Chains A and B, each alone.
Chain A
């Protein structure tokens, strides 16, 4: 029984470069969330996908951030022209749907922008 997986587990990139972070949710989970956790902070919501509905992008901090979810399964979070303040752990979670409040998290991707 596979849980939520994320890749890469660690990513070091230079300021100004683009990065892509991948999330494989639990099979059958229609809802997918991206969060980030900066040092000493809580989980900051970024974006939410639910089935075929338009994603809720209200948490994206700038237009450098975007995300896609293809075929209702795998999701990719893209950060363009990375900045040092983008350094954080990026967490993906999935759940059965809006009526199922329990989220299952992946192990996260630690992004370091130098």
Chain B
């Protein structure tokens, strides 16, 4: 029973265009959401996060949108660059026994074509 779902296993985008990666969650107790980026043979690296008190957070080319009523968040990358090609993981966390152990989705593989 996946609490965090990334329904698109892969996404292909042309360089310069917008990449939109989607993530859905089921647990209404989640109050903090993160995106991680993973290159092959490396561990995931933190990209951007958003608290449930916000609906948007922007950092350079990366923007995360949160729609709490729909339990949906998305990551926008504008403009997309070939170096953005990686697997992107969505993660969600909430207070569980006093810890904030994130639950991860299965990832979306983004390919940005030159």
Contact of A50 among B99, B104, B106 (CB under 8 A): B99
Is the C-beta of A111 less than 8 angstroms from some C-beta in chain B?
no
A43 touches B89 (CB 8 A): yes
Cβ proximity bits A79-114 to B, threshold 8 Å, 1 near / 0 not: 000000000000101000011011111111000000
- Cα distance A103–B34 in the bound complex, in angstroms: 10
- Cα distance A59–B96 in the bound complex, in angstroms: 13
B107 touches A105 (CB 8 A): no
Contact of A102 among B42, B46, B89, B104 (CB under 8 A): B46
Contact of A42 among B49, B97, B106 (CB under 8 A): B106
B101 touches A101 (CB 8 A): no
A103 touches B104 (CB 8 A): no
Q: A93-B43, A101-B100 are in contact. Are A42 and B4 (CB under 8 A)?
A: yes
A52 — which chain B residues lie within 8 A by C-beta? Answer: none
A108 — which chain B residues lie within 8 A by C-beta? Answer: 41-43
Is the C-beta of A71 less than 8 angstroms from some C-beta in chain B?
no
- Cα distance A50–B89 in the bound complex, in angstroms: 24
Is the C-beta of A48 less than 8 angstroms from some C-beta in chain B?
yes
B36 — which chain A residues lie within 8 A by C-beta? Answer: 105
- Give B contacts to A, CB under 8 Å: 2, 4, 6, 32, 34, 36, 41-46, 49, 89, 91, 93, 97-107
Q: Using A42-B89, A43-B44 as known contacts, list a sample of 4 further A-B pairs with CB atoms less than 8 Å apart, ordered by residue number in A.
A: A99-B100, A101-B49, A107-B42, A108-B43
